[in-house]
Amino acid sequence: MHKINIEPLKEYASYLNSIFNQTVTDSRVTVFQNKNNSVLYITRHQNLVVLPLELKPHRYLHFMQRATVQPDDKIRIEECRYAYSLSDDPDNEKSWVCRYEFSLAPNKFHYPHAHIHVNAKEHDIKHIHFPTGRISIEQLLAHLIIEHHVEPRDINWFKLLAESHKEFIKKRTDTELYLFP
Amino acid sequence: MTKDGDVIILTAKEAQELVNKECLKRLGMNLLEYKEKKKKHELPKNSIAVHDIELMLEFA
């Protein structure tokens, strides 16, 4: 059985919820660990039912991360999926606006490791994987506040997110992996 | 299930329950059915639900 050091998990959950709760939502995410392996699954839930983060006014951020605990107890984000939507139903095809997805693992179709989807009307492009650099959750939250008019909870939201984004830049390790495409 | 603040440690069975609930809610099939359909390449194409559940599978 994998020995669990819960402190880094608590620290990571606390970091994420601090960012969310200070800037755009009351919702909190939970870091789940399967005690039989070192894989983490991070999302919001109620009674083990996955839920989106609730934004104002009446918007939703569907948030999921899969991570692993490294031998040195560091948490490595292996994959993340964030979808900004007007609906709490993640499968409502008419309501999602944009999605950002990142995966460290290569895929058989050679889609970009980090990409965005845009639910555009004029062209049938919502399944296209537009390549992007890896973005932080802080960048996404700033984008939602600035361009989608999600209500910030704190007048200092920009500074809070900018400072937290710096930590993301310092801690990320994927730049050493030369991910392509 | 062990809860400590915003961290929950699940047994393997509880982890499967989490994924199973997501399969039922999103695709109307349980985790076992999902795995069987995956083997037979019968899962919906370009489905956000399938992508999301794939992310959960290694966890379960």
Give A78-131 pLDDT, tens digit per residue: 999 999 999 999 999 999 999 999 999 988 889 999 999 999 988 889 999 999
Q: Which residues of A touch B23 (CB under 8 A)?
A: none
CB contact under 8 A, A6 and B7: yes
Amino acid found at A124: D
Distance from CA of B38 to the nearest CA of A (A): 16
pLDDT surpassing 80 at residue B2: yes
Q: Using the structure block, give the residue that is written with the tokens 């605990």.
A: A69
pLDDT tens profile A77-93: 999 999 999 999 999 99
Instruction: Report how far residue A174's alpha carbon sits from residue A10's, in angstroms, rounded to the nearest whole number.
Output: 23
Confidence (pLDDT) at A122: 87
Residue ranges of alpha helices (H) inside chain A are 6-23, 137-147, 157-171
Q: Is the pLDDT of residue A2 over 60?
A: no
Tell which of A19, A32, A107 to mutate to test the B interface (max B CBs under 10 Å): A32
What percent of chain A has pLDDT above 90?
A: 83
CA distance A135 to A142: 11
Nearest CB to B10 within list A14, A32, A93 = A32
3-class DSSP assignment, residue A10: helix
Taking the CA of residue B7 and the nearest CA in chain A, the distance in Å comes to: 5
- What does the pLDDT look like over B49-58, one tens digit per residue? 999 999 999 8
- Cα-Cα-Cα-Cα torsion A101, A102, A108, A112, nearest 10 degrees, comes to 90
- Interface predicted TM-score of the whole assembly (ipTM), two decimals: 0.93
Residue A151 has pLDDT above 70, yes or no: yes
Query: pLDDT band at B10, cuts 50/70/90?
Result: very high
Which residue from B14, B25, B59 is facing A66, i.e. has the nearest CB? Answer: B59
pLDDT interval class at A155 (50, 70, 90): very high
> Chain A closest CA to B49's CA: distance in Å?
6
Q: Which residues of A touch B22 (CB under 8 A)?
A: 49-50
Residue to test with chain A: of B7, B10, B14, most A Cβ within 10 A: B7
- B11-60: per-residue pLDDT in tens? 999 999 999 999 999 999 999 999 999 999 999 998 999 999 999 998 88
Chain B residues within 8 A of A50 when measuring between CB atoms? 18, 21-22, 25
How does DSSP assign A118-161, residue by residue? E--SSSS-TT--EE-----HHHHHHHHHHHS-PPPSSTTHHHHH
- A121-129, long-range: CB within 8 Å, 24+ apart, which pairs? A126/A93, A127/B46, A129/A101
DSSP one-letter code for A104: S
Q: How far is A143 from chain B (nearest CA, A)?
A: 22
CA distance between the termini of chain B:
14
Residues of A in contact with B11 (CB under 8 A): 34-36
